[in-house]
Chain A
Amino acid sequence: MNSHLFQGSLLRLTAANPDSSADVDALMRWARDSEYLRLQEGDPAMPRSAARAKEILSNAQDHDGATFILRPLDDERALGFVGLWANWTHGDAWLGIGIGDRADWSKGYGSEALRLALRYAFTELNLHRVSLTVLEGNARAIRAYEKAGFVLEGQARHYSRYDGQWYGEVFMGVLREDWEEKDSSSKIQVPN
């Protein structure tokens, strides 16, 4: 068995808490940053109401797969989220991830969250592959995905339009075998 599934060296995978005003505030705060929203989803960017933030946190607890709120090891502050939306029949899941506050970007949180999410996907959900899409030109994210084991699978052309410019949608996927090759934690065995 692997060591603690939810515990990394920088952060923890924890439950989303719709009843926590700190979590609701965090989701509203992140959504004041339109760049964060545009990199996150294709819907028109809109500031988030408290009700909507609460709804997102509630949905995180109840869907096929798992969504986690990322928190540092030693306090309850929400850093971001990582979620897996599973298609059980085919053993595939869509992955979504975000580190909310700019002050928390580029600190290795995203990479560690990806590592933990993939370990969870392959060793707990027993999936065959994990999929994601990312906006063309989001080099920081694409680098992190490649580091975690994701492979470029194609690009849908002219998929989004921002500020009068077309962007492609980059599709990436990681098979169990890609991940096993990449992540040494897939090989950790506890002697019986």
Chain B
Amino acid sequence: MSISDQLFEGEHIRLAPLDPEKDAETESKWTHDPDYQRLISAQPVRPLSPGQIKKKYEEAEKEKKHNQFVFALRTREDDGAGRLIGFARIEHIEWNHAHGGLALGIASPDDRGKGYGTEALRLLLRYAFDELNLHRLTATVFEYNTVALRFFEKAGFVIEVRRRQALNRDGKRWDWLHLGLLREEMKDKDSRFKFQDSN
């Protein structure tokens, strides 16, 4: 990789800034989908209005003490604004230990299984390791989210912790898995960061 390789541009999607006005409308719709919410959050599912979402953005902006980086995932199809398909965060960074957490979601089932998540993950790993210069990333996955588990394992993440029965969903107990990826584990996999069409 070199300084000329683009950090934010994938083949089909890009890491983009949030657009609070427009994105709040879309994200409000996502909060009305409990199946999606239960894949990405342990908090009680709750539909939120665009106004409530906007307030959440503002609070996040205020609270972020430079230990959180949030991206909107957008398609590149119409090379202008693009369509919002999900979000990604590098968060809970502890700079003194050079570690952080990684969270990623593709909201609509129609946008899944198309490689968008994989593209986003490549961009995020490069951002975390080559821009933020972190040493390790943690991703956490709920036991029932087998797609996410396979997704992270394919990228080199290893299951490190199994927090037994830490989730209660529909009266059933599920484990909460923590996966880790070290920077040096990516070293020989430099090509993973690279896209055929770095234009």
Q: Using CB atoms and an 8 Å cutoff, list the residues of chain A in contact with chain B.
A: 42-44, 87, 89-92, 128-129, 131, 151, 153-161, 171, 173, 175
B114-167, CB < 8 A from A: 135-136, 138, 159-167
Query: Which residue of B is nearest A159, CB measured?
Result: B99
Interface contacts beyond A42-B96, A161-B98, A171-B178: sample of 20 additional A-B pairs, CB < 8 Å, sorted by A: A89-B44, A89-B168, A90-B42, A90-B167, A92-B163, A128-B173, A131-B163, A131-B166, A154-B161, A155-B161, A156-B136, A156-B160, A156-B178, A156-B180, A157-B180, A159-B99, A160-B97, A161-B96, A171-B161, A175-B165
Query: Inside 8 A of B111's CB, which chain A residues have their CB?
Result: none
Residues of B within 8 A of A158 (CB): 99, 135-136, 180, 182
> B2: CB under 8 A from chain A?
no
Contact of B163 among A44, A153, A161 (CB under 8 A): A153
A89 touches B164 (CB 8 A): no
In this complex, which of B43, B167, B182 has the most chain A Cβ atoms within 10 angstroms of its Cβ? Answer: B167
Assembly CA distance A91 to B161 (angstroms): 19
Some 16 contacts from A to B, beta carbons below 8 A apart, are A42-B97, A89-B42, A91-B168, A92-B166, A153-B163, A153-B164, A154-B178, A155-B160, A156-B136, A157-B136, A157-B160, A158-B180, A159-B97, A160-B94, A161-B135, A175-B165
Q: Which of B52-98 contact A (CB under 8 A)?
A: 94, 96-98
Residues of chain B with a CB closer than 8 A to A160's CB = 94, 97, 99
Contact partners of B99 in chain A: CB under 8 A: 158-160
Residues of chain B at interface, number, CB under 8 A: 25
A110: min CB distance to chain B, Å: 23
Minimal Cβ-Cβ distance residue in B for A152: B161
- Determine the distance from Cα of A43 to Cα of B136 in the docked complex, in whole angstroms: 16
Shortest Cβ distance from residue A61 to the other chain B in the assembled complex, whole angstroms: 22
Separation of A161 and B180 alpha carbons in the complex (Å): 16
Task: Judge whether A90 and B161 touch: CB under 8 Å.
Answer: no
**Closest B-chain residue to A170, C-beta based?**
B161
Distance between Cα atoms of A142 and B99 in the complex (Å):
23
Residues of A within 8 A of B44 (CB): 89
Identify which of residues 24-46 in chain B touch chain A, using a CB-to-CB cut-off of 8 Å. Answer: 42-44
Residues of A within 8 A of B178 (CB): 154, 156, 171
Separation of A145 and B73 alpha carbons in the complex (Å): 42
Residue of A43, A129, A156 most packed against chain B (CB within 10 A) = A156
Query: Whole-angstrom distance between the alpha carbons of A160 and B138 in the complex?
Result: 13
CA distance A173 to B96 in the complex (A): 26
In the complex, chain B residues whose CB is within 8 Å of the CB of A171 = 161, 163, 178
Which one of A153, A155, A161 lies within 8 Å of B97 (CB-CB)? A161
In the assembled complex, which residues on chain A have CB atoms less than 8 Å from the CB atom of B168? 89-91, 128
Report chain B residues within 8 Å CB of A128. Answer: 165, 168, 173
Nearest neighbor of B96 in chain A, beta-carbon distance: A44
The CA of A161 and the CA of B97, in the complex, are separated in Å by 5
Chain B positions within 8 Å of A92 at CB level: 163, 166
Q: Which chain B residues border A151 with CB–CB below 8 Å?
A: 164
* Minimum distance in angstroms from A125 CB to a CB of chain B: 15
Name the A residues within 8 Å of B98 (CB-CB).
161
